[in-house]
Amino acid sequence: MPELNGFEVLTQIDRARLPVIIFVTAYDQYALKAFEAQAIDYLLKPFDDERFYQSLHRARAYMEGQHSSQINARLESLIGGMSLRPKPITRMAVKTGGRIVFIKTSEIDWIEAVGNYLNVHIGTEAHMLRGRISELEKRLDPTQFFRTHRSTIVNLDRVKEFQTLFKGDGVAILKNGTRVPVSRSCSQRLQALLTPKL
């Protein structure tokens, strides 16, 4: 499941039609969370046919025993307690010159969209990776990164100054002197984010 984990999939299911859920994973770290939701079962890979049929039998027993309303209530409780937004990424892998460079998102100064690629700026270096800025924006921490324009995202910790330009547009000046454009629709929100609340 490259995009969502099992718990996040639950948030996408119509709550009026929740199925009986059996978690299947190779990682035991999620077992506690699954059982807190009082899931029907939790299959840890690798498992054999006997273990699979035992889990399936348990699910059928719940369904036939009129326990489906209890299951739905438990799953709805789990979903209600979850954030719909996946946990922000803290590291990225970038291929460059036949090698893979791992970067911390906190080290990023700003990001710009260049066609189907993203140019990730870290200090004097820039790393290109394939992707869409709208998709990356969803994966970054919204308390640390802000989309200033349709083609740029800035790390708020790197912003030193904001200047208003003609017709409400603006420019964010980073600590390294880089000038990042800020659209009129984003100018006020950026200023609010940068102004500490007293």
Low-confidence ranges of the chain (pLDDT < 50): 83-84
What average pLDDT does the chain have? 80
Token pair for residue 117? Answer: 């690629």
Say what the pTM is.
0.57
Q: What is the pLDDT of residue 85?
A: 54
d(CA 128, CA 124): 14
Buried b (16+ CB within 10 A) or exposed e, 25-57: beeeeeeebbeebebbbbbeeeeeeeeeeebee
Domains and CATH numbers, the chain: 6-80 (3.40.50.2300), 91-194 (2.40.50.1020)
Chain-centre distance of CA 45, in angstroms? 25
DSSP-derived secondary structure letter, 197? P
Token pair for residue 164? Answer: 């208003």
